[in-house]
Amino acid sequence: MKTFTVKVPAGIRNGEKIRLIGQGKSGKNGGKNGDLFIKINIEENKKFKLEGCNLYTYLNIAPWEAALGTRIKVEGIDGGDLVYIPKGIQSGEKIKIQRKGYKDSKGGRGDLVVEIRIMVDKNMKEEEIKLYEKLKEISKPICRGD
């Protein structure tokens, strides 16, 4: 059994092949070896989804972060970036971070698209519950599509 070290080029796509010249089966009657082809399978990830050169992910934020706006570090494939979350953002809205997606074969990059998910702690402290009850008293109802 042989072991190969293969340089995978930036921007390679799912299903593309890398050709290793002369590393395939031996040729017939003393002829030269054939080529070995390695098919690339890009594994899906729970955190990222690849579409073209764009990467899609999600970010869980607290209700007060959505209401007031904040700056949060968003992890991408090559580290984190501080991202501004505008006040009043809604669950399901998307923020695009340009040129932080997957590399293409020409040296460019796609975008990182972050879907916002507003999450409420299931194990709130008594003080938090009281603050939400107070907020309920002073806030106007949100239009629910009626």
Each residue's pLDDT tens digit, 76-120 = 988 999 999 999 999 999 999 999 999 988 889 999 999 999 999
Summarised one tens digit per residue, pLDDT across range 52-71 is 999 999 999 999 999 999 99
- pLDDT band of residue 44 (cuts 50, 70, 90) is confident
pLDDT in tens, 18-37: 999 999 988 888 889 999 99
Q: Which CATH class is domain 49-138?
A: mainly beta
Distance (Å, rounded) from C-alpha 135 to C-alpha 144?
Answer: 18
What pTM was estimated for this model as a whole?
0.79
The residues spanned by each domain of the chain are: 1-42, 49-138
Whole-number pLDDT of residue 146: 56
Q: Which residues contact 56 (CB under 8 A, 6 or more apart)?
A: 48, 49, 50, 113, 115
> pLDDT category, 128, cuts 50, 70, 90?
very high
Separation CA 114–CA 55 (nearest Å): 9
